[in-house]
Structure 1
């Protein structure tokens, strides 16, 4: 085979692989099209508790850290600011509208080491479990920049009411 022939074969394989990746992502976005992020602002009168900067990593199917969801606004990794209010959590992701998750929809917060396309030191990620508008349970992962993942998890845990903790324990969901 000539050098030009080998180059054409390699180029054809590369184009086919990129095509398969695009096809896979389009199928994923179609599958997840019914899932929506809660865009909006914190209710007026909300009290700011803390702010964290870092990296938004992914939102996945609850309990499956390797199954990324293609939800508009949460589909891609981005620089982010996490704003904790007494009424919930606001996510300011670079290039996206603000997402506000009311405290009633936050189920659990803890630390993690691995999720889709990201492995860090032990407990280097903050994972929080929450409900989308249609009551689908999802896990979102963050990598805090200027603080520990434990500090962000603790700030999120402060939003979880004792009623939510009791319900989680009763159902055996140890997020």
Structure 2
């Protein structure tokens, strides 16, 4: 009996913490309802030739310039192992158990490296940062997706391939 009451208190505290986490996540999703519509993924043949593919650790997608504000975009809400592929017509991020996310080439603003995002800090340039425009219901939103390539050299291949498909801005030369 002397262990029952502390055991019940610890269990009740754990349940309250889990309920608070669920409540906070639902609140985040409600506040970010403009990001709720999943992007349409084109058929494989409509993506063009595959330029690069790599196994990655997906870290997060955040609003541009706000690397501590995780977005709840379908397919990109949770950290996971997955794959990133660059095609002639865009970039595909595939995470197990989540809908695939296809970023059309016209939506890609830039690609580069980063050292940290949300709660992940790595060596200098250890994260691949994909800057793109998400078609939210509130209008186009500039976002950043962070990936960590799991094999040596894959980050550079993804960056080089994505840079080759980014539309050139008017007034710039190649």
Q: TM-score, normalised by structure 1?
A: 0.83
- Aligned pairs (5 A) from 1:30-109: 30-35=30-35, 36-41=37-42, 44=46, 46-109=48-111
Once the two structures are superposed, residues 75-130 of structure 1 have per-residue CA deviations (whole angstroms, 9 ceiling, x without a partner) of 11222211111111112221223322111100111111211232222211101110
Distance between the aligned counterparts of 1:147 and 1:7, measured in 2? 48
Query: Which residue does 1:136 correspond to in 2?
Result: 141
**Unaligned stretches of 5+ in structure 1?**
167-175
Higher share of residues assigned strand:
2
**Unaligned stretches of 5+ in structure 2?**
none
Q: TM-score, normalised by structure 2?
A: 0.84
Return the match for 1:150 from 140, 149, 156: 156
Query: Which residue does 2:115 correspond to in 1?
Result: 113
Distance between the aligned counterparts of 2:87 and 2:40, measured in 1? 15
Distance between the aligned counterparts of 1:137 and 1:30, measured in 2? 19
Query: Which residue does 2:22 correspond to in 1?
Result: 22
- CA RMSD of the aligned region, Å? 2.1
Task: Note the C-alpha offset of 1:165.
Answer: 9.0
Distance between the aligned counterparts of 2:47 and 2:109, measured in 1? 23
Q: Could you tell me whether the CA contact under 8 Å between 2:67 and 2:117 is conserved in 1?
A: yes
